Amino acid sequence: AVPVDFAGEHQAGVTTPAQDRLHFAAFDVITDSRDDLVSLLQDWTDAARDMTAGNEVGKFGAVAGPPVVPPEDTGEALGLPASQLTLTIGFGRTLFAKDGKDRFGLADRRPEQLVDLPHFSGDRLEPAICGGDIAIQACANDPQVAVHAIRNLARIAFGRASVRYSQLGFGRTSSTSEAQVTPRNLFGFKDGTANIKLEDTDTVEDFVWARSGDGPTWMDGGTYLVTRKIAMRIETWDRESLEGQQGIIGRAKGSGGPMSGGDEFEPLDFAANSRDGEPMIGEQSHVRLAHPDFNGGAKLLRRGYNFVDGSDQLGRLAAGLFFICYQRDPREQFVRIQNNLAGLTADLMNEYIVHIGSGIFACPPGVGSTGYWGESLF
């Protein structure tokens, strides 16, 4: 399989057909020097170019360098193909100003779209897995390739940025292309059926890429990333009846088709009633509350991953969905939809999930064959 192009008008890893594996990392910048920040972004871009092409990092790579210094590449991806690795960068609010301090002279460059996410009903966020000055999403079809990429970027950042938290994901929960089969999440349901697909070019233009006039010009062609680590109460869910599960989601578990009838890609019919006069797609079902018709037309490009961080002290799976979505304006998209979903009286699914991590990042436009990540910002 061919590697995914690193260079382009937009960053890869957004509309790129979702790969199977994720290693997501949020970094804190630990220098106050603007020059160090720029040099970090330049070094990262060089390494990202190498790794996404399936090459070793640096001039000498893992084993061809001088034996008296640590190798430029850590080596565990030697012999592995690029595995469709994509690396996607985003800048958090704290990069622009942190605790009122403008460390890098960027305070007036912060886009309005990069909002401080409101507290949503039901949130139980753990600060240690929230935020970050810079996020890097590594996606690949081989877990070792994704882990190698983040590990090498973290190593390169030494003295300039440190990892705040990172998350592994093992199964995509969305398709972003019509050519992909819809995968399943840990509730056992097909996930990504109604997602924005790269083939819907008009929808991608309208809902994913920031365009001229939207905000600061440095973001033209960029996009906004929202991440949510969502814990799922797997064992409780597993005790819910099939009928109950399908009612909560609003789709059939087997086919993924709407509860109003038809196959997976049949449109949802919210007006359809059963014989007893009840709506076939319940008013508190997830798909209804998340649907554009009930959110002022808002859509998201979802690109999340399943995670299992082992089991907790009670023997329950420490599992869930690392929710990732891309959009042109989080205020009109993620925030709007999540407000509709949040709260125990809203989405029936809330009984089975808890949001524990959160992040919002401005992802700059793509990089050409020269240049570096975020160059337009400086």
Q: Does 323 bind ligand HEM (CB under 6 A)?
A: yes
* Cβ 349 to ligand HEM shortest distance, Å: 6
Contact between 113 and ligand HEM per CB under 6 A: no
Q: Does 287 engage in binding with ligand HEM (CB under 6 A)?
A: yes
326 in contact with ligand HEM (CB under 6 A): no
Closer to ligand HEM by Cβ: residue 88 or 245: 245
Region near ligand HEM per CB under 6 A, out of 1-9, 72-80, 182-190, 363-371 = 182-190
With CB under 6 A as the contact rule, the residue among 111, 192, 247, 282 that binds ligand HEM is: 192
Q: Is 252 in the site for ligand HEM (CB under 6 A)?
A: no
Identify which of residues 47 and 341 has a Cβ nearer to ligand HEM in the complex. Answer: 341
Q: Would you count residue 117 as binding ligand HEM (CB under 6 A)?
A: no
The CB-of-228 to ligand HEM minimum distance in angstroms stands at 6
Region of 7-15, 24-32, 36-44, 335-343 interacting with ligand HEM (CB under 6 A): 335-343
Among 20, 72, 133, 191, binds ligand HEM (CB under 6 A): 191
Smallest distance, ligand HEM to C-beta of residue 291, A: 4
Question: Which CB, 155 or 253, lies closer to ligand HEM?
Answer: 253
Closest separation between CB of residue 150 and ligand HEM, Å? 23
Q: Is 204 in the site for ligand HEM (CB under 6 A)?
A: no
* Span near ligand HEM by CB under 6 A; candidates 183-191, 276-284, 309-317, 360-368: 183-191
Cβ at position 326, least distance to ligand HEM in Å: 12
Interface with ligand HEM (CB under 6 A), residue from 24, 334, 372, 373: 334
Fill in the amino acid letter for 274. S
- CA distances to 196, 204, 237, 357 from 290, rounded to whole Å, are 13, 18, 20, 20
Query: HEC states along the chain?
Result: CCCCCCCCCCCCCCCCCCCCEEEEEEEEECCCCHHHHHHHHHHHHHHHHHHHCCCCCCCCCCCCCCCCCCCCCCCCCCCCCCCCCEEEEEEEHHHHCECCECCCCCHHHCCCCCCCCCCCCCCCCCHHHECCCEEEEEEECCHHHHHHHHHHHHHHCCCCEEEEEEEEECEECCCCCCCCCCCECCCCCECCCCCCCCCCHHHHHHHCCCCCCCCCHHHCCCEEEEEEEEEECHHHHCCCCHHHHHHHHCECCCCCCECCCCCCCCCCCCCCECCCCCECCCCCCHHHHHCHHHCCCCCCEECCEEEEEEECCCCCEEEEEEEEEEECCCCCCHHHHHHHHCCCCCCHHHHHEEEEEEEEEEECCCCCCCCCCCHHHC
Residues lying near ligand HEM in the complex (CB under 6 A): 185, 187, 189-195, 228, 230, 232, 249, 251, 268, 286-287, 290-292, 300, 320-321, 323, 334, 337-338, 341, 353
